Homo-oligomer: A and B are copies of this chain.
């Protein structure tokens, strides 16, 4: 078990915080970060909050060569009352351990890391923006740092948590996007690492993304790597369709990431008694539903956008326009409800919210 104390070393100078209308996702980071080391046989140790700073890593560190890395992404929200709250953080830490297992990285103590994240946010509380739709993005990640270029699981790792204030995803209202169905490249396959949040999956996705981006599409829709028939995800989001009154989403099959937003969408729909099912969905079925006038809505789900409506799906030269390119009713309702809960404007029937203590004084 790791040493349960978190050492805090505060930075001497603080950065200037960007204005809330000038926040760009993932480019500005706060004044501090959380760092923890792993080594055999010590286990996870050296938990500390330190000034945000570059890492000093050997060129032979395994992460540079064999991609042994995992990460998570979640957000802290500021409520009207000035409180700070997290949305389902335990799901993210559970998933981090699931990713760790697939990548042969030693497990973390989820409770302890949640405590560390909360403490880090307490230190950085002034970095949580309060303008409509803004939030503080939290990026925990683990990298193998052992200086050894043999292909084997490493004996040294670092877990790091960095924070980045992010602007509103939909500054000018929700805008449905154009998606290209990808027939050549795949993100991953059953038996691969698709279920895990590991760097290699994202590296694999860049090429397809780049090619369709040049043609004016926002993202690709990934088909399964085995038959290239069944729908998996859209960009780095899970995907939902409303067909003839029923909401469907691809079932978790080993190559799809189990999104926290995906799970939240399903639970909300059930709560509302809207029929929802997780199952295999072929692209052919979607084309048929579209042709029959039964494809009512389509949207992606993920932490970044919460809900990203799909206005057009292009497959084999055919453009399937969904809901006249407008945001669907269910899509909007889910978006409003999840963000309502996140910002403390709506009731939280599922106990999804975890509060961050902001009144405490942090001692150096």
Contact = CB atoms under 8 A, between A and B. Distances in A.
A300 B25 CA distance: 46
A19 interface: no
Contacts of A71: 64-65
A83 to B, nearest CB: 26
A149 B60 CA distance: 23
A323 to B, nearest CB: 26
Stoichiometry, as copies per complex, reads 2
A258 B86 CA distance: 47
A210 B105 CA distance: 12
Interface residues of A, number: 66
A59 interface: yes
A102 B150 CA distance: 23
Contacts of A190: 186, 225
A325 interface: no
Contacts of A201: 67, 200
A25 B60 CA distance: 12
A-side binding surface: helix, strand, loop or mixed? loop
A71 B65 CA distance: 7
Interface stretch (A37-45, A48-56, A240-248, A345-353): A48-56
B206 A68 contact: yes
A327 interface: no
Given A68-B203, A152-B209, A189-B226, 17 more contacts: A27-B147, A52-B59, A54-B59, A55-B56, A55-B58, A59-B160, A64-B71, A65-B141, A67-B199, A104-B206, A139-B149, A151-B209, A187-B192, A188-B189, A199-B200, A200-B201, A200-B204
Interface of A: 25-27, 29, 33, 52-60, 63-69, 71, 102-104, 139, 141, 143, 147-153, 160, 162, 164, 184-193, 198-207, 209-210, 225-228, 235-236
7 closest cross-chain pairs (CB), A and B: A200-B200, A67-B199, A26-B149, A66-B202, A186-B191, A67-B203, A189-B189
9 contacts: A26-B148, A53-B59, A54-B59, A65-B202, A66-B206, A104-B210, A153-B210, A193-B203, A198-B203
